[in-house]
Chains A and B, each alone.
Chain A
Amino acid sequence: MAPMTKPLVSIQNAGKIYKNGTVALAGLDLDVREGEVLTLLGPSGCGKSTILRLIAGLDNLSSGTLTRDFELDHASIGYVFQDPTLMPWASVFDNVFLPLRLRGVARSEASPAVNEALALVGLAPSGRAFPRELSGGMRMRASIARALVLRPLVLLMDEPFAALDEITRFKLNDDLLALQGELGTTIVFVTHSVFESVFLSSRIAVMGPRPGRVVAEIAIDAPLARGNFRTSTAYAHYCAQASRALHGAMDADVK
């Protein structure tokens, strides 16, 4: 399955050193394959967010190579941050409209696409609301709708549900997988939650800290339609495996 497809993004022997001397990444190899949900699982400060910024072209590598199998333009990447990052002065509709507006599309012309994106995340009735009038989970849904409105090839998500309560997070995890099934979007998802990574992924890249690199890759061999996956023994097995890999990475760092 997955190894047969050509990688959408291929990162080889990558290093990133920030101006202040921090070595964020060193010797990182990572492929993003079409149609997969890849999670980057690791402790904070291991360069997970840096990888997303590099893929999005918001930052450049210090060494190594990053190749994309697509043209990097306004519609190729969707980005969801840890905070919903909505414009508080604009309605939910206008927030989701933003990527189209910046392309010079008129509001009336953009309206069907915006409404469709809102419907995808279950926010169809809330277009006229302002961000501050929504719950945290709904704000995150609006943020996801904005990222999807141009139907990007790759959706980058930087710990999007970390600040939400567990019940909301589970619901959003379910809905995200349903969305992925519907659209087939390739997703790169950053998290520090073992359970979230196992539930969402077709593949987990476990990362070690300082400098960030991939220490283990775990393929989750279960279809992405995951109704009862959370209660299955396979799920528990994968969680244990991911936990061990993560602890291994941390211990190696301490020594």
Chain B
Amino acid sequence: MKSFDGSLPQWAVRYGPPVLVFAGVLAAWEAYVRLWNVPAYILPSPSLVLETLFTDRATLFPALLVTLKTTFAALAASVAGGVGLAILFTQWKWVERSFLPFAIVLQVTPIVAIAPLLLIYLEAPAAVLVCAFLVAFFPILSNTALGLASADRNLVDLFKLYRATHWQTLLHLRLPAALPYFLGGVRIGGGLALIGAIVAELAAGNAGKGAGLAFRISEAGYRLNIPRMFAALALISATGIAIFAALSALSFYLLGRWHDSAVGPER
């Protein structure tokens, strides 16, 4: 794509519009709060939210760290479990027939409904971790299993022709062929792990030093500390965006020269 008047650089054409929209919304919000003297407990201004983010950092950032740890631990477990199970699925059909129904049951049952039950049997941090794992696990499993099964049939024949072993076919054909699917699953799973962690934290509602961001939101809500609610929310959003961006970058890096998704529309 060429810029419409030939003078704007590529990055300005690409990132300009969303940045302008975002800045415009923030400016309108700020103006509305100031001109109509809206009290902070109804709607805090963006500048106040930013200020709260700074003044309440001793509360907010340790909580963010707790939530992040849960999210990444859950994501790592989902990747290990999802990929491992997907490989077992493609190697032995009976494993798929035996376990897939249960994976689906766990996927379709809302996590909000499972969380209170888990909290009975597990310590709060462990229960939160399991919840985050349960929601992130399935997209990684199903995407990877789909990818492993989608290897080019002629290539599969070629491997047969060259007398490749089961494991050679897995290593040199099925796993690389599944990589784009897997990365798509991880991108979805990364966002879901964060959502799962937040939902479970809300259900757990535990105070003290082990509390995550979601607990800080509900706590601030009880105290009518609306600016802090917004600040915590902004942190969660930013975290979600950062996770998505990081996983997209990873995907771009790994698929590099070979996959259509990693080549820009300009080509």
Contact = CB atoms under 8 A, between A and B. Distances in A.
A83 interface: yes
A58 B260 CA distance: 31
Contacts of B15: none
Contacts of B176: 87, 89-90
B173 to A, nearest CB: 7
Contacts of B154: 81, 83, 85
Interface in B152-203: 152, 154-155, 157-164, 168, 172-173, 176-177, 179
**Interface residue SS majority, chain B:** helix
A58 B164 contact: no
Nearest to A130: B257
Interface in A73-97: 73-74, 77, 79, 81, 83, 85, 87-90
Interface string A92-116: 0000001101110000000000000
Given A85-B152, A89-B179, A99 B258 contact: no
Contacts, number: 54
Interface residues of A, number: 24
Which interface class (under 10, 10 to 19, 20 to 34, 35 or more) fits B? 20 to 34
Contact of A132 (B152, B161, B177, B257): B257
B259 interface: yes
A101 B168 CA distance: 10
A101 B172 contact: yes
Interface string A62-82: 000000000001100101010
Contacts of B161: 56-58, 74, 77, 79
A18 to B, nearest CB: 15
Contacts of B163: 73-74, 102
Contacts of B179: 89
B158 to A, nearest CB: 6
Interface of A: 53, 56-58, 73-74, 77, 79, 81, 83, 85, 87-90, 98-99, 101-103, 130-133
25 contacts: A56-B161, A58-B157, A58-B160, A77-B161, A79-B158, A79-B161, A85-B152, A85-B154, A85-B155, A87-B155, A87-B176, A88-B258, A89-B177, A89-B179, A89-B258, A90-B176, A90-B258, A98-B162, A101-B172, A102-B159, A102-B162, A102-B164, A102-B168, A132-B258, A133-B257
9 shortest A-B CB distances, which residue pairs?
A85-B154, A88-B258, A74-B163, A89-B176, A89-B258, A81-B154, A130-B257, A102-B162, A102-B164
